[in-house]
Amino acid sequence: MKARTPYRHSTRFSMVATPASRAIVAPSMLSCDLSNLCRDSQLMLDFGADWLHMDVMDGHFVPNLTFGPPVIAGIRNSLPDVSILLYGLVDGDTLLVCMLCNTFCCITTKGKVHLIHVGTSYPHINNIIIINNNINNNYGVYLDCHMMVTNPAKWVEPMSKAGCSCYNFHYESEMPEGGHKALIQTIKDAGMKVAMTLKPTTPVDVLFPFLDDLDMVMIMTVMPGFSGQKFMADQMPKIDAIRSRAPLLDIQVDGGVSPKTVDQCTKAGANVIVAASAIWGSDDRAGVIKILRDSVLSHGKGCIPFEHGRDCIPAPADRKALSTVMESRTS
């Protein structure tokens, strides 16, 4: 097998090339046929999944033991590179185009961002030149790693080298010197997106000081550690409280989410949906993924108006600037 360099996200642009409606469905791979983990990972992508949700458990923080860095690396290496980077001109402005699966995500240096669908004609885009294929694997399949571990700082470097896209640690875990802020910076320095998760028993206000530093927060609607638990609807006020304070932040929900419960999550403000048994236990897995996504599109909060396709949500450092741009568009 051809060796790959450690996975890294591009740092040339601080914009995250994903739609403003940000309807993300991330099947939990813990519920797949673990003897065919790589095959089932590709199957979920074929069925329309946006991300793959990896439940990493150390047997200490939760009473279960699952994936580790070698498994994450195995999945990363087994999945095809899906990115093609191009340069071109839009109204005289330099353009970076990233192909993600079946869409072109376009980012201009002036900060105007569109998601342009393959096969659609856009006359204002000229002189597109393919520069290279799979440059540094910067935009491969998104591996969303939920770190149910006692010492999350210990696993930052190994997970980064393995190909983790988003390092999602628990607020309740043991923190290094400097606390949560220090860990967040360590994860960013390792080239990964960073998210923080709350157990159902933890009050939501502990997250508020960190919202501007995070790419995503996750609200657990079951106790972490095992799939197949009953959905806890009493966690919805937490999602609403976060959404009211961070209208552009990704809010993930995990635990007992299904076509029967997803609307409660999306009406509260969740836009990243993790599902396990609801998808894997269905005879129509693609259909379930579509239902979950449609719920976000129908009820999702924090969405931004779009032109020529869908605008993109920026990384935390750019949210204030984007809010100003969007206010000028809608005024």
β strands within 91-171, DSSP E? 93-100, 103-108, 113-117, 125-133, 142-148, 166-170
Of the candidates 74, 82, 25, 27, the one whose C-alpha atom is nearest the C-alpha of residue 54 is 27
Q: What angle do CA 212, 96, 99 make, to 5 degrees?
A: 90
Whole-number Å distance between alpha carbons of 9 and 23: 21
Name every residue whose Cβ is closer than 8 Å to that of residue 247 and which is 6 or more positions away in sequence. 301, 302
CA dihedral 167, 257, 31, 140 (to 10 degrees): -40
Q: How far apart are the C-alpha atoms of 7 and 328, rounded to whole Å?
A: 37
C-alpha distances (whole Å) from 244 to each of 7, 54, 238, 310, 313 are 34, 28, 10, 22, 17
* Catalytic, out of 40, 55, 144, 311: 55
50, 144, 250, 254: the active-site residue: 254
206 three-state secondary structure: helix
Nearest-angstrom CA–CA distance, 162 and 233: 35
Cross-strand bridge partners of residue 24: 272
Say if residues 253 and 274 touch (Cβ distance below 8 Å): yes
Clarify whether 55 is annotated catalytic: yes
What lies within 8 Å, CB to CB, of 34 at 6+ separation is: none
Strand-by-strand arrangement of the 113-117 sheet: 113-117, 103-108, 93-100, 84-90, 125-133
CA 86 to chain centroid, in Å, comes to: 23
Is 254 annotated as catalytic?
yes
Point out the residues that are catalytic: 55, 254
